[in-house]
Amino acid sequence: MPIYKTIKPNQKTIIFVWKIDESYSDLLHTVALNDLSKKRLNGMKSELHQRGFLSVRHLLKEAGYTDFDLYYNSYGKPLLRDGKHISITHSYQFSAIIVSDNDVGIDIEKIREKIIRIGNRFVNTNIDSLSNEDMVKQLTVIWCAKEAMYKTYPYGGLSFHDHIAMDPFLFAEKKSTGRVHFGNWKKEYDVNFMFFDEGFTLVYVLPHVKIKGTSINSFLSKNKENK
């Protein structure tokens, strides 16, 4: 099928999500690949992985790019030749990309019970916050959020457990905040998430925008002036 979902968080950012219903041959037939991508594709043992890889190239087309516009730094972070930021994800029958003027990250994962068994590897209760909501879905959101924030970091060495934190959230709000603190790299992110009916979670992160608040004294002063 074509695009499953398009999201525009702001004027400088767009997200494309693809539901992978096509066969490997159908996906391969309609995209041009550079030599490195051909080598990577041929080296993949799983057709599921190959279809995810190819669907991302179709998403690039939707965003106005080709596989020749995409390259990777020495740590595997994807980059675009025009200087825009990109993040890529695929899981089972879904893939997604986010393209922005700002540094962004995205991740999609299938909601599975087995995440409970590995929760202590990426959740640090000293810096992360958990609620009483469905623990499997909650852990999936946290994993996706940390993966998305991890993808904004252009170097290696980050620990999900120690260097990336997730603030409190409720499913109904579909948003939270998070941060990466590692050496001199200290950045905060707005975390946005959604659940698909097919049993998947999508999370994308944007640089945190601090909204200037109005103090009570300032509000009362202005209110007096208007009386």
Residue 55 pLDDT greater than 70, yes or no? yes
Digit-coded pLDDT (tens) for 108-151: 999 999 999 999 999 999 999 899 999 999 999 999 999 999 99
Residues 98 and 115 in one domain: no
Residue 224 pLDDT greater than 60, yes or no? no
**What average pLDDT does range 6-15 have in this prediction?**
98
Digit-coded pLDDT (tens) for 141-193: 999 999 999 999 999 999 999 999 999 999 999 999 999 999 999 999 999 99
CATH number at residue 73: 3.90.470.20
Percent of the chain with pLDDT over 70: 93
Amino acid at 210: K
Residues 10 and 35 in one domain: yes
Residues 24 and 115 in one domain: no
* Greater pLDDT, 192 or 227: 192
Residue 216 pLDDT greater than 70, yes or no? no
Q: What per-residue confidence (pLDDT) applies to 210? A: 79
Residues 97 and 141 in one domain: no
- Domain coverage including residue 76: 1-102
Strand pairing report for 185-196 and 3-10: unpaired
143 lies in some domain: yes
Residues 208 and 139 in one domain: yes
Residues pairing with 85 in the sheet: 100
- Residue 40's pLDDT band, with cuts at 50, 70 and 90, is very high
pTM of the entire predicted model: 0.91
Residue 14 pLDDT greater than 90, yes or no? yes
List of E strands, the chain: 3-10, 13-19, 70-72, 78-80, 85-91, 94-100, 105-110, 164-166, 175-182, 185-196, 200-207
| Contact (Cβ atoms closer than 8 angstroms) between residue 80 and residue 106 | no
Residues 90 and 114 in one domain: no
Residues 141 and 196 in one domain: yes
Residue 37 pLDDT greater than 90, yes or no? yes
226 lies in some domain: no
